[in-house]
Amino acid sequence: MRKPNPFATLIFFIILGVGGVFAFVVGVISNVLGTGIGVITFAVALVASSAIKVADQWDRAVILRLGRFHELKGPGLFFIIPIIDMIPYWIDTRIIPTSFKAEKTLTKDTVPVDVDAVLFWQVIDPKKAALDVADYQVAISWASQTALRDVIGKTMLSDMLEGREKISGELQKIIDERTEPWGVKVISVEVKDVLIPPALEDAMSMQAQAERERQARVILGDSERQVAEKFGEAAKTYVDNPTALHLRAMNMLYEGLKSNASIVIVPSSAVESMQLGGLTGMTALTMGLQEQAKREKTSAPPLPLQPQ
C-alpha cells in the first residue's frame, strides 16, 4: 500500500487554515456567511489535496481518465483531475529480486530434486505492465516456477549439479520470452541450491569415495612400477662395474650400523652377489663398521651446560 502524500496533506491544512481564518473574520459579521465560507474552504482544500500527487524517482503513475488510459506521470510533482482521473497502479521501475523454487521435480533421469533460484527483473514499459496483465508480479512468479520445472525435466542430474550457469542462462531466456509482452525485462537468474534425497546423496558420496580410492591405488601401482624401472636401470649400471657394487653394499651396511648400532643379518646369497667376501670377512667388516660408528658417537663434542 502506498504511503499518504505529506505534501498534499500540507496543502490541505494550509488551505483549510487560511479559509478558517477568513471564515472566522466573516463570521463575526454574519454567522451564516462565515459557515458557508468554511464549508467552501473545506471542499476546496479537499479537492486541491486530491489533485496534487508526488511520484518518487522510481515510480510511474498510470492515470486513467473516465476508465480509459490517459498517460503516465512521474517522477516528481504532477496534478490530476479529481473524480475524473484515477491512479490504479504505481509501477516500480527498479530492479526487483523474486525468489522461486521447484519442489520434488523429476529430472530427465527420474531423480526428485528441490531447486531454489532468484530472479532479477525490471519493468521497462509501465503501460504494458499495468494494462496487459492483471497482476504482473504474480504472473512473473508463476512463469518463473513453470519455466524452472520445464528446465529440470529436460536436464540430467549430473549436468544440473555441475552446470548451474547453463541452467541459469536457459531459465533467463525462457522467462524473458514469456514476460516481454508484459513490459518486463529479465536481468538475470541465479540458481541458489539443488537439493537431492538423502539416500541418493549418501550413495553419491560412497561412489566418490570409491573412485578416489581407486585412483589412489592406481597412483600407488604406477609409483611402484616407476621404482622398479629405476632399480632395473641401476642394476644395469652395476653389472659392468663390480667395484661400484661393492662400495654401494658397504655404504648400505655402514648406514644401517650407524643408525642402529646392532647386528645386521645378511643372506649368504646377497653377500656373494655384492662381493663382500666370506663369512669371516663379513663378520670382521661388520665389527669394524660398528667400532667406527661407536668412535664417531663418542668423539662428538659434549653439549654446553645451560646456566641455571
Q: What is the pTM of this model?
A: 0.62
Share of the chain above pLDDT 90, in %: 31
41 vs 254 pLDDT, higher one: 41
246 by Cβ neighbours in 10 Å (0-12 / 13-18 / 19+) ranks as middle
pLDDT of residue 4: 73
Query: Is residue 43 over pLDDT 80?
Result: yes
Predicted pLDDT of residue 130: 92
pLDDT of residue 61: 94
| Residue type, position 106, single letter | L
Average pLDDT over residues 219-246: 77
Task: Choose among 256, 265, 267: nearest CA to 289.
Answer: 256
Report the pLDDT value the prediction gives residue 228, as an integer from 0 to 100: 80
pLDDT single digits (tens) 63-74: 999 999 999 998
Residue 267 has pLDDT above 60, yes or no: no
How far is residue 145 from each of residues 67, 85, 156, 260, measured CA to CA in Å?
Answer: 33, 37, 18, 73
- Tell me if the bond preceding 75 is cis, omega within 30° of 0: yes
Q: What pLDDT does residue 8 have?
A: 86
* Main-chain phi, psi angles of 109, to 5 degrees: -100, 30
- By the 8 A CB rule, do 27 and 35 touch? yes
Q: Which residues are registered as beta bridge partners of 189?
A: 119
Contact 16, 41 (CB under 8 A): yes
Span 163-194, pLDDT tens digits: 788 888 899 999 999 999 999 999 999 988 88
Mean pLDDT of the chain: 80
Give the pLDDT band of residue 141 (cuts 50, 70, 90).
very high
Q: Residue 182 has what DSSP assignment?
A: G
State the pLDDT at residue 202: 67
Whether the pLDDT of residue 205 is over 90: the answer is no
pLDDT range class, residue 307, cuts 50, 70, 90: very low
